[in-house]
Every structure is written in structure tokens, then in C-alpha cells.
Structure 1
Amino acid sequence: MEESLILSEFDRLVKSGLVLYDDKQEIIEHIDGELKFHFVVTSALAKKPTLQASRLLMEENSELHQSRRDGSDISTGGFEIGDIGSTHFVAANKFCFARPHLMILTSNGHVKQYEPLHENDLQVAWTALTAISRNYAVLYNCGQDGGCSRLHKHMQLMPMPGDSFAAFLDSEDGKEPSVPFHWFYRRFESQHVTPADLTEVYTNLLKEVTRVGKGRSQHADSAPPGAACPHNMILTNRWMIVLPRRQAGINKEAGANAMGMLGYIAVATQNEINNWVRLGLKETLSKLGVSREI
């Protein structure tokens, strides 16, 4: 998991055309109140399927069935970079808005994205973070309303922007911004964090998320057995955030995953940005998450 090796393999996959990454992407800033939003305009997302579309694609394309692990709806053939222990493996994300942009998937393709994270997931996430020298984040989009596009359980690994809504957590005297939704976070008091520590933090934060978010998501009535309250989890080697979600998007051009809820929103076109602005930036985030009075 050395960064130089990851970047080398990622660049090779981009050059081969297997991985879509736009090295000419543009970042456009918009300010709403005290919050600064960053829209990452990248052509790499133009063909990214939604959860429903990916299901239909897998049903119709037998080649994709052959290039995925048993039980999985994610095609990783040709994208895999290596294993992390015996329970997870790393693959490049085909539709990228960062360099690198990776997925950490369970080796068991039957484990689902609507389930909560377990200690082995968090242990693998921490192993990946501590093995990389730069500031990275592990992201988890739990459930359809949490912004996931595939059902095989996976986390994402990418560089953490330095000016997201969460930047205050990197400074002891940082001021928490007035985000228009509930979020719960914990700074780590020591760099010596164990998997049990991570699990305890995540479990406690998820309890708070469930307290304010249970039953409020768009698909709450049809949640499968064992499903957690839809949420996003963002983990760095300094802190963890968990936040409840009500829906993945207001419409097809105004949705967000975990990074989007922190103000970094990847889009394929300027029209998507215009749609966000028309709807209201903070107003949209309050509807994607569980709104709070600010």
C-alpha cells in the first residue's frame, strides 16, 4: 500500500483506458452563507451508472458477470491492485475524480453496502490510511440513500481536500462551520488507534446517527433485514465523521456522496452546478442529510 506504487498502478490503468480520470478537470467555487462549496467538473463521471442502472447493466451484459467476484455487482477484472489481509482487496475506481481514487472491497461479494461497518472493515481502512504518507480519507456510503451506486460492500480511498467542511477538525482551535445537517464526529486523542478503538468510536457515532435519522430516509419502509440507518462515514488518521442521510439526491443532477456532504461535489457538467445553485446549496444538503436548525 505504498503511495508511489499505488500511483504508478493507477496511472497505468488510466493510460490503458480502463480507468476514467480527467486530468484537466476544473474546480469551481460557490459560497452560500459561511460555507464554501467546491464543484469538481470532470468528464470521467459522464458515464457513471446509478444503482438502478448498474443492476440493469449487470443483468444485460454477460461479460460483466464473468469479470466480477461471486455475489458482487462490481466488475473488478483488470482493476484489482492487491489484497489487504484475507478479508478485503483494493481496486481502482473506474470513474475517478481524484488521483488516485480507489475502492476497498470485501473479498466476499455477498456482503452488502447497506450493512454497517464491522471491526475488520475499520481495521483494513486504518491499515490503508497508516500505510500512505499523504493525507487521505476512507469514505463509506451506506445504503442507497447514502449515495452508493453498487451493492457489494466497499469503501473508497482518496486524498482528503484540505478545505472541506471538515477542515476545522485538523486544528485544535478550528471553528466548526454551521452545516445545515446533523453530523457527529470524534477527534482521535492519540495516533495509536486500535481496531477496537475505531469500532467503539464508529458504533457510538452510528448510535447518534440512528437516533436522529432512523425512519427518515427515502427508502426506510423497504429497507432489507440487517440494514443500518443510511449514512456516510469519513475517516482520516486524525478523526471520524458519521452523518445520517435521507436521500441520495434531490433529482438526477443534485446528489452527493460522503465527500459531497463535506462540500466537495463531483459533477460531469456545468448544468449540474447550475441546478445545485438554483435549488440552493445549503438547502439541498439539508434535504440530502437530516436537517438541523442553524
Structure 2
Amino acid sequence: MNTPSRESSGTLWSAIVRQTAHALACGALRRIQTRLVTIEDGGVRFLIRQVSSLERKEQHAQQRKTESPSNRAANPFLPCEPDLFVADLSDTHLVLLNKFNVIDHHLLIVTRRFELQENLLNPADFRALFDCITQFESLGFYNSGPAAGASQPHKHLQIVPLPLDESAPHLPIEPLLAAARNDGAVCTVPGLGFVHAFAALDEKLADRPQELARIAFDTYLRLLDASGLHAVDVDGEPRQSAPYNLLVTTRWMMLVPRSVESTEGIAVNALGFAGSLFVRNDAQMQTITRLGPMNVLQRVAGTIAA
């Protein structure tokens, strides 16, 4: 039986805005300043953000490890920081603000008990995700472990509001998606040269989030299968057979198997495959300009055979 959402439909966005104001005022939320550059490549207007203060996040994480006797004690989600708490979703999940946010109102959907990030997603994860992304225009995503860009071992999905940039009304990759099949069948998107599996969802179900979540979970299993990934039983829990990134909206889903975490020092997480990449400094900006963003994605995910 589905566990009902504790956050009433339509109220989440106001809770996000309210808690963001509080967290900024008390210093719990630490915005990371960026410089935005756009690069056109392969029919996609990529957003490249140069993240000038990413080191603060890494220093904070290292400090927690130093202060704590074990990795579990260093877990920022158990217990969560109260000033970052947004809402209870269910008996299994809650919503937090992302402490070090590059994009405003960046959210984390976190399991209440410890689960590994490498565990496969389950129906409760999808119910929690769709309880949120059906309330405001947004992109959900999942980095399934360190090789896919995850910085914490505790299972967490993420959400960013759309658009990612005020100059464009859609995700950077969305113009290419019009050429993909829209019947729900698993396919690849013409023009996306990196290895992936794509499937459309019925956006008319956005006002029925639990039904859409059930369909999305079934779609997720088909995307895994199409990508050659499967469950590996570890101590009674289904663990992934290889790392991947997952992108989810109320209209479509895309799964990208990962081969490596980075190329030439440029790390890529799920947002990269939506067309939003991050670099640390001028040298990496020059590298991504030289290689081309699509080539960077192909290097970390593999290239579709011609």
C-alpha cells in the first residue's frame, strides 16, 4: 500500500522559499558563486558554470570526517541539519535544501534510514520524487555513486527548478528530444552521441503523482535493462551492477551508464547530460572549450556506435 505524502499537494514550493530565506539568514545555506558561459555543440546550447568556491564544499566535508570517528558519523543526513529541513514526504523520505547550492532552491530527497547510494531505486524513492516534481516545473536526477558524481554514500535524489538559466525556457538538451519516440518505448535520442536510454512519460498524469510514479518506476527498470544494467544482491539489498546517472521530469526519463567519473579533471554528474556542466577554473574552461561539451560527455559515458 502506498504511504500518503505528508506534504500537502501544492504547498511544497512555499515551504522551499520560506526555508531558503531562513537558511540564508542563519548561515546554514552557502551559495556557491559561479560565472556562466554558453557553448553551442551538437545542437545543444550547453551551460558551463565556472564554480569559483567549490573548495568550500570539499573542505566542509573533510572537516566532518576529521571530527567524526566513523564515516557513518560524518553522514550529513543522519541527523540532518535542522535549518536545511524543508518537509516530510513520507515514512521513508524527507526533503532538504542542498547546503552548497549552485542553482537556487536545489533540493535533496533523502531516505530516513541509511541506504547506500549504489542501491537500486525502489518504488518509495519514485513516490517521493514525483510528490515533489509534480508540484513545480523541475528536473529530478540521481547520481548512483562516486563514479556517477555522488559526493555522499547515503541514498539521495536531487531536484532543481526549471529553467536552469533565465535566458532559455527549457533544458539545454530538450530541443533534441522532439525527435525521440513519444510512445513510452525505450529508445535513443537522435543527436545525443553519448550512450543512453530514453523513454517518454505521459505528462497528462502529472496531476496523479502516485500513478505517474508507478509508471516511472517500471520505466526505470526498462531503462536499466536496455542499458545492460541489473540488480546484484548484496546482503539482501539490490545493488547496481554498474554506475549510472538518471534524469527525470514529468514528461520523460533518461538513463546514462557511466564508464568514468571525469575526463581531464572535469567531473560530470547527471546535470551534465541535461546540458549543464561545471568547471573549477579558467584552465578547465579552456579544456572544455577545446574538447567540446558533447565530447566530454562521450568520454565519461561512452559513444553510441555509428
Compute the TM-score of the two structures, normalised by the length of structure 2.
0.78
Residue by residue, what CA displacement relative to the aligned partner does 1:61-111 show, whole Å, maximum 9, x if unpaired? 1399388455x8xx63532222111101111111111111111100012x0
1:202 equivalenced with 2:220 (yes/no): yes
SS of alignment partner, residue 288 of structure 2: helix
Query: Please, which moves more after superposition, 242-251 or 173-182?
Result: 173-182
The alpha-carbon distance between structure 1 residues 115 and 167, as it changes in their structure 2 partners (threshold 3 A), is farther
The 2-side partners of 1:279 and 1:190 are apart by 36
SS of alignment partner, residue 191 of structure 1: helix
Q: Is the 8 A contact 2:77 2:110 kept in 1?
A: no
SS of alignment partner, residue 96 of structure 1: coil
The 1-side partners of 2:271 and 2:287 are apart by 19
SS of alignment partner, residue 16 of structure 2: helix
SS of alignment partner, residue 152 of structure 2: coil
Q: Is the 8 A contact 2:111 2:155 kept in 1?
A: yes
RMSD: 3.2
Residue from 215, 231, 238 that aligns with 2:251: 238
Amino acid at match of 1:121: D
Give 5+ residue unaligned stretches, structure 1.
Answer: 215-223
1:29 equivalenced with 2:38 (yes/no): yes
1:59 equivalenced with 2:59 (yes/no): no
CA positional deviation for 1:14: 2.4
CA positional deviation for 1:173: 9.6
Q: How many residues align?
A: 273
Q: Is the 8 A contact 2:263 2:296 kept in 1?
A: yes
| Runs of 4+ residues over 4 Å off in structure 1 | 66-70, 170-177
SS of alignment partner, residue 149 of structure 1: coil
- Matched ranges for 1:1-294 at <5 A: 1-22=11-32, 25-49=34-58, 54=61, 57-62=63-68, 65=73, 68=76, 70=78, 76-109=81-114, 111-132=115-136, 135-160=137-162, 161=164, 162-169=170-177, 176=189, 178-192=191-205, 193-210=211-228, 226-252=239-265, 254-293=266-305
Query: Please, which moves more after superposition, 34-43 or 156-165?
Result: 34-43
Q: Is the 8 A contact 2:202 2:250 kept in 1?
A: no
Residue by residue, what CA displacement relative to the aligned partner does 1:171-195 show, whole Å, maximum 9, x if unpaired? 9899955222111111113522433
Q: Is the 8 A contact 1:20 1:44 kept in 2?
A: no
